[in-house]
Amino acid sequence: MTSLAGRGILIDVLSHKGGELPVGYEITRADIESALKAQKTSVKEGDIVLLHTDVVPGYYELSDPIERASYVIEPQAGIGMDVEGWIADHRIAAMAADNIALEVLPNPDSAKTLEIHGALLRDLGVYMGEIWRLEELAADCREDGHYEFFLAAQPLNVPGAVDAPLNPIAIK
C-alpha cells in the first residue's frame, strides 16, 4: 500500500455555496471551478484535492452502529459525473471529501450506483478518500485565505490489502 504525500488543495464548496448543501446535492464542475476562483486558488497536476461538504460531522455524532449504517445510505452531497472530466483535465493524484462516498448519493441515474468510483480508480488511476474530517482545516483556510498545504496520508499497514484507513495530516 502506498503512502500519499504532496501538495494539497482544499476546495470549500460548502462555504462557497452559502454554508449549507442540500441533501443529495450534486457538486458540479462549475461549482468546483467557481469555488476555486473565489478562493483565488488553482489546481496543478499531481495535486491532492480535498472537498469540504460538511456531511461527515453527522456521521461521527452517531454512536449506534445501526444509526451509522443508516446514515451511510441516506442521500448526501457529493461530486457528480461531470467532475470526472475536470479531474482528468487537471491530472490530479487524489481526491478526498468529508462525505461518505465522495460522489453524490444516490446517483441521479439509479442504474449507475458508485459510477465515479470506477471512473476514478479504474479508468484514471486517481486515489480516493472518504469520510475525512475537514472542519478544522476548512476553518483555518477561511481564516488565513490560504487553501494550499502539504498533505501526508499514511495508510494502516494491512498486508495484502488494496485499501486501508489513513492517518492524514495537513501542514500549512
pLDDT digits over 138-157, tens only?
Answer: 999 999 999 999 999 988 88
Say if residue 118's pLDDT is above 90: no
How large is the average pLDDT for residues 115-132?
89
How large is the average pLDDT for residues 95-106?
90
Q: What is the pLDDT of residue 38?
A: 97
Q: What is the pLDDT of residue 110?
A: 67
Q: Give the separation between CA 159 and CA 172, rounded to whole angstroms.
A: 32
Average pLDDT over the chain reads 90
How large is the average pLDDT for residues 86-90?
96
Say if residue 109's pLDDT is above 80: no
Q: Give the separation between CA 74 and CA 70, rounded to whole angstroms.
A: 7
How large is the average pLDDT for residues 82-107?
92
Task: Calculate the alpha carbon distances from 92 to 69, 106, 126, 139, 160 in Å.
Answer: 31, 25, 7, 24, 26
3.50.30.50, 3.30.70.270, 3.30.300.180, 3.30.9.10: which CATH number matches 12-137? 3.50.30.50
Range 66-102 burial, b when 16+ CB lie within 10 A, else e: eeeeebeeeebbbbbbebbebbeebebbbbbbbbbbb
Q: How many residues does the chain have?
A: 172
Whether residue 46 contacts residue 127, with contact meaning beta carbons closer than 8 Å, is answered with no
> Hey, what's the cell of 137?
482545516
Closest CA to 85 of 29, 125, 156, 36: 29
Domain boundaries, the chain: 12-137
Q: What is the pLDDT of residue 167?
A: 86
Q: What is the pTM of this model?
A: 0.91
Whether residue 151 contacts residue 6, with contact meaning beta carbons closer than 8 Å, is answered with yes
Q: What is the band of 134 on the pLDDT scale with cuts at 50, 70, 90?
A: very high
pLDDT digits over 9-38, tens only?
Answer: 999 999 999 998 998 999 999 999 999 999
How large is the average pLDDT for residues 104-119?
78
